[in-house]
Amino acid sequence: MGLANFSFSCLASCLCEANLFEIAEPTAHFKVDKPRLSYEFIDWDSTVSMEEPAVQSRQHWHSEMTDDDRNISPVVQTTHGKVRGTLLKGLYDEKFYAFDGIPYAVPPLGTLRFKEPHDLKPWYGIRDCSKPLDKCLQVSTYSQLVEGSEDCLYLNISVKTLKSEKPLPLMVYIHGGGFKGGDPSRRAWGPDYFMREDVIFISIGHRLGPIGFLSFKDPSLEIPGNAGLKDIVLALRWIKANAVNFNGDPDNITLFGHSSGSMTVQLLLASPQTEGLFHKAILMAGFSMELNRQPNMEYRLAKHLGYEGENVDSQVLDFLLKADPHLLVSSDFFTEAEKNRGLMMPFVPTVESYVTPKAVLLAEPVELQRKTWSNRIPIILGSNSGEGLMPMGFLKKNPKWLSRFQHSPECVLPSTLRLRCDPGQGRQLGQSLLDHFCQAHGLQLTVTHSDALVKLFTHSIVHAQERIIQARLAYGQAATYLYRFDFDSPDFNFYRIRFFGKEQRGVGHVDELGYIFVIPATFKLDESRPEFNTIRRMVSMLVHFAATSDPNAPLTKALVEWKPVTRFGTRMVLNISEELKFIPQPEKPMLKIFDRLFEQAGVPLI
């Protein structure tokens, strides 16, 4: 998810131990009464021109095609070679073409393991892109086993039609997973709902964990960090260069992401490397103005794996290049004291320590946002009404963890304050938050304080969101649209149901993704249900924004007018529930409490 290291609390550490907090991607571990319908292969649409395979490729990933395969498999010429996709039928019988596993960079293997991505050389023949490939190497949140591959720099394209009167807008998605997990493919995030609209949906695989975010200060090693972000930048360049080949408009690209994927989008909004590569952005439930990267993570990782030398960059790198990649991604070397402070993700984006031609971040986001190119493009951002719900299921089953708040009240602070205050001030500020939300005032916290803690953690996340809004209002020249997802479905909020059961109500972190993607738990809805209406409205608004910079789609503008946020007057938000309503933001009044904490700590808000 990514919230814990940036804008949540040390509660994340205990939830990680229980495998509850970090949601990297949906999997078959979901248990539902009604199974989702799988993709169905259908007959080829004769309007798409076909090509026979050219010269037999020398690359290992080219396979022989049967006559039946060719009947449903369009071929597209890209800047690097031809790719063969497949024609699918989704959950509501929407037909679309899928091109899965298109390479955009040289596989980052061997000495390239931690380095910036290298542009791919053209290939011969036709590459089979009919099935999703491996996700990037990671530890599964569910099985705790290492899954995926280091060879993971591929993207996936879904498109409704390869020919139309006007080129289609492109929506490029960055998955969440705490910068160390997640799956970009339609195994996890089925694009079925988007394929009912005139849009191209693309997802990007990028390096994660230490393989994606390890860094060294020695310029001679050419590993300043942020390889995972640079993967995405290179993929965006590929997408812009190839948009026309897939019936897309290279000058109408929207980048969007969820949780740590949203934070990634925010970082790329601040980077000069991405100017012109996308034209709108959507941030969903993940925000960060400071990176809070801890020092010496590379040396500590090497020591954990058996390195006995000194903290010399070149020697540490040599050791890590030879290390088993499964051990690299599965190492847990934080102490209990560090976990109590909320540290759980050692390898995350960082401010690069020296300038290179492809440097993504040379200052903190809070500084970059003041003058970034993206202040001139429109964005949507928002979160769920119960973002703080996720930890409470664990706490209700394990109330002993509440004692951590008694002994370490700094745990409830946003990470920027927790990591930048001295211990005494951190405890004082944390206690003031507990006193305000829980009315504790020194009393022992119990499960009766659960609702108050949900409110506290929700407001902490919304405050991180508010800082972005304030920066946009201060420095931006384009519209900023704010939403609040508040649909409390009895059986379609899959993440809340998975972790708490159907008896728990509320709208937790990740619940909204079930309304824009088909995930393994998804089942086909009767079209009269309000959940189905919400899916249609959500996707329609996002796609209309991607196409026109205005989220007021024909389907919704008769119901409500979604206006941009303004500097003065009441903060208004689009509340998305069974009905769409433009209302005063419920959380706004209590955000002033967090403003005061930042002021007391001497940390600028924007």
Give the residue-averaged pLDDT of 165-181. 97
Per DSSP, the three-state class of 89 is strand
Query: How many whole angstroms separate alpha carbon 176 and alpha carbon 261?
Result: 4
pLDDT digits (tens, 9 = 90+) for 225-279: 999 999 999 999 999 999 999 999 999 999 999 999 999 999 999 999 999 999 9
- pLDDT of residue 529 exceeding 90, the answer is yes
Supply the Cα-derived Rg of the chain in whole angstroms: 23
Structure tokens at 270: 């601040």
342: left (phi over 0), alpha (psi -120 to 50) or beta: left
237: nearest Cα among 276, 264, 280, 208: 276
Q: In degrees to the nearest 10, what's the CA dihedral of 188, 194, 195, 197?
A: 180
Report the pLDDT value the prediction gives residue 404, as an integer from 0 to 100.
Answer: 79
DSSP string, 205-222: ----HHHHH---S-GGG-
Q: Where are the beta strands (DSSP E) in 95-167?
A: 95-103, 126-128, 138-139, 146-147, 154-159
Q: Where are the beta strands (DSSP E) in 221-360?
A: 248-258, 280-284
Q: What residue spans of 390-527 are helical by DSSP H? A: 390-397, 402-407, 415-420, 423-438, 450-475, 494-500
pLDDT digits (tens, 9 = 90+) for 431-459: 999 999 998 776 778 878 888 999 999 99
Report the pLDDT value the prediction gives residue 71, as an integer from 0 to 100.
Answer: 52
Query: How many whole angstroms separate alpha carbon 343 and alpha carbon 300?
Result: 14
Contact 395, 12 (CB under 8 A): no
Print the SS3 string covering 263-305.
HHHHHHHHCHHHECCECEEEEECCCCCCCCCCCCHHHHHHHHC
What would you measure as the largest C-alpha separation in the chain, in angstroms?
A: 76
Distance of CA 6 to the CA centre of its chain: 13
- pLDDT of residue 101 exceeding 50, the answer is yes
- Exposure on the CB side of residue 401, measured as CA atoms within 13 A: 23
Instruction: Give 186's DSSP letter.
Output: T
Report the pLDDT value the prediction gives residue 65, as an integer from 0 to 100.
Answer: 37
- pLDDT of residue 311 exceeding 90, the answer is yes
Instruction: Name the amino acid, one letter, at 379.
Output: I
- pLDDT of residue 407 exceeding 90, the answer is no
Contact 72, 43 (CB under 8 A): yes
Give the residue-averaged pLDDT of 499-521. 93
* pTM of the entire predicted model: 0.90
